Structure 1
Amino acid sequence: MTNAFEATSTTGDVLMNRDLSGIRVLVTGVSSGLGWETARALVSRGAHVVGAVRDLVKARRAGAEIRTHAANGGELSLVALDLASLEGVRACSDALMRDGRSFDVVIANAGVMRTPYGHTVDGFETQFGTNHLGHFAFVNRIEPLIATGGRLVVLSSTGHRTADVDLIDPNFEHMPYDAGVAYGRSKTANILFSVAFDRRHRTRGIRATAVHPGVIKTALDRSMTPEEVNLMLARINAALATEGRSPFQYKSLAQGAATSVWAAVVANAEEIGGRYCEDCGVSPVVDQPDGPLGKGVMAYAVDAERAEALWSLSERMIGERF
């Protein structure tokens, strides 16, 4: 796949000279961080972005800044969505279905990371319940609104390398809780969801992909103490030094959101469908991680049978069939 973009490309680079007038995009989690930058970049090129957010008050403040960048008729509207509550998911999806307007792209961006042991309103482990099950229920319930030829972009992470999904004990009921493992499971689940969704809907031209934005300093790590963050960075840099590589550097927001908008409106749909992307390109499948922050998607995260098994489990857990 020939590609003009790479790790340091920004949303501005990816969307340069593109007119997105008339395109409707739903993005979850636009109040801050990657979701904010994704919405800002799309609105600045003329897209109508519907931001689905947990906290409307916070989002209205963030949205006011996003709207200052609007051009070519770009718009931002907001809807309430609590991914940690099936009631909230159903209320939002029902409202969108009643509205009836279609979306060209859905970007499942919102999420939590390395949270203390806890549960969603419905009793699911917090990270698996919010990052995967909330989006699984929400996206499937609004799937009829995704236009023919549309796309689903699901944000995952290199954290998926930490752990495969556990189809027997997804809520850590029978094993000690580990925040990093739980995060890894949820990010693997994000990829597997995109694989199964792509297989189901490609016949009407809808393609789904999962993306890793890179490592960006956002509020996503709010559950980690500064000491934990510093220890993590020290371990990464020590390993990088052993490999003779340069010290780790965070991506900027504009660099981090670039892969999301690239997959949403720039990349060839046939080439990214059912795949995992990072640094504005399709990633190779690997059997073993090649060091800290190495590139590639673990084979278990794109395994079709694993994706179908997770789909069935997810349906049983939320009590809905799709």
Structure 2
Amino acid sequence: MSSPFNPYAEQHKDPKGPEDGRPTAFQVLEDNKLLQAWPDKVVLITGATSGIGIETTRAMYATGARVFILVRDITKAQPIVADIIKSTKGNGSIEIIEMDLDSLDSVKKAAQQFLQKSSKLHVLINNAGVMACPRTITIDGFERQFAVNYLAHFTLTTLLLPTMLSSSSPTFNSRVIWVSSSGHRHATGKPDLDDLGILDHYEPWAAYGQSKTAMIWASNYIDRTYGPRGVHSNAVHPGGILTNLSQYMTKEAIDAFTEDEEAMRQMKSVPQGAATQVWAASAPVWEGQGGKYLEDLKVAEPWLGAVSKIGDGYAAHAYDAVNEEKLWELSLELAKIENP
């Protein structure tokens, strides 16, 4: 049954694969009367040059907002931005700032560059990520999935929280969206606070799961701590989408997945994959609300061990107030930054 926090229940009852009747990001905007409705808003997005990041940027541009994208490669970003502006009706703007999530110094520099350009930030979408990469250590000495998916976004968010607090208003509380994954349900997806990169026994999917749980924990912590002050946060599982996020998967693994008929029925197109994060970032139903894990344009329910590889709920460890606080404090030390 449809509800304000599950408005597209009917469309998700019988998925038939990409481009079926499940909503796209633009349908979410249209249904919520948000096209060209945000001329006074500032939005920042990471990972905006591929996959659902491009579609999320396109949707945020269509709201009329001033959009910033943080990207590793400005040269790659420029034609993407030009295409969005040319092909999408809107009178907002898109500005590009260079940022390499593999380097915390680069993240800190990008945050400062943004703050030099804008004194406001209403929506932050932590969209960028890597998945199941080989064991790699970043320049800062961290396992790459933990560093890119979580710690870099934690650093960026924490540095921008004061601006988000000051940008919040009684009619629109600022929002942070963390693009997590059903991969947080991996058997070892609960972060080991004594071995956050699981470097002693590295396994790509376990490391991915830990990084995605860490994102959920950070989201929960922000909503609990800063929600009463006007900044709310939600974590989102976008669904299964065939993008270059799967670049580290073997051909055999991809073939096995694509031969799974049930899994392929659950898969989404890129516009559909961007829908849940755009809903969380913009829909009025989320005004003054947060602290949830979302999937398929709804508040997810507990995972019951169903066979679905792609969705159907959150693992029990996704909500853990004690460890959320411990991880937050530890992350401040690792990133060498102070609490806002």
Q: TM-score, normalised by structure 1?
A: 0.91
* Unaligned stretches of 5+ residues in structure 1: 241-245
1:154-193 matches, cutoff 5 A: 154-162=178-186, 163-175=189-201, 177-193=202-218
Q: Is the 8 A contact 1:161 1:289 kept in 2?
A: no
After superposition, the Cα gap between the structure-2 partners of 1:155 and 1:247, relative to the gap in structure 1 and judged at 3 Å, is closer
Matches within 5 A, 1:256-275: 256-269=273-286, 272-275=289-292
* Kept after mapping to 2: 8 A contact 1:43/1:69: no
Q: From 211, 223, 233, give the equivalent of 2:248.
A: 223
User: Alpha-carbon deviations, 1:276-307, whole Å to 9, x = none?
Assistant: 01111111134x43222341111211211121
Alignment counterpart, residue 45 of structure 1, candidates 60, 63, 67: 63
Number of paired residues?
A: 312
Aligned-pair distance for 1:71? Answer: 3.2
- 1:190-219 deviation per Cα after TM superposition (whole angstroms, max 9, x unaligned): 100100111121122211000010000111
SS for the counterpart of 1:248 is helix
The one-letter code of the counterpart of 1:12 is: F
**What is the Cα-based RMSD across aligned positions, in Å?**
1.8
Residue from 128, 133, 152 that aligns with 1:134: 152
User: CA, structure 1 residues 226+29, in 2 after alignment: closer, same or farther (shift >3 Å)?
Assistant: same
Match of 1:75 in 2: 93
> Could you tell me how far apart the structure 2 residues matched to 1:214 and 1:247 are?
11
More divergent stretch after superposition (3-12 vs 112-121):
3-12
Q: Which residue matches 1:4? A: 7
1:151 to 175, 190, 204: 175
1:243 matched residue in structure 2? none
Deviation of the 1:69 alpha carbon: 3.4
1:173 Cα shift?
Answer: 3.0
TM-score, length of structure 2 as denominator length: 0.87
- The answer (yes or no) to whether the contact 2:215–2:235 under 8 Å persists in 1 is yes
Partner of 2:45: 27
- Please name the residue that 2:298 is paired with: 281
How far 1:45 moved relative to its partner? 2.9
Question: 1:97: Cα distance to partner?
Answer: 2.3
- Deviation sequence 1:85-122 (CA, Å, 0-9, x none): 01101111112223342111000000101101101110
SS in 2 for 1:170: coil
Whether the 8 Å contact between 2:48 and 2:70 is mirrored in structure 1 is yes
Percent sequence identity over aligned pairs:
37
Q: Return the alpha-carbon distance in structure 2 between the equivalents of residues 226 and 302 of structure 1.
A: 34
Deviation at 1:72, TM superposition (A): 3.9
Aligned structure 1 segments of 4 or more residues deviating by more than 6 angstroms: none
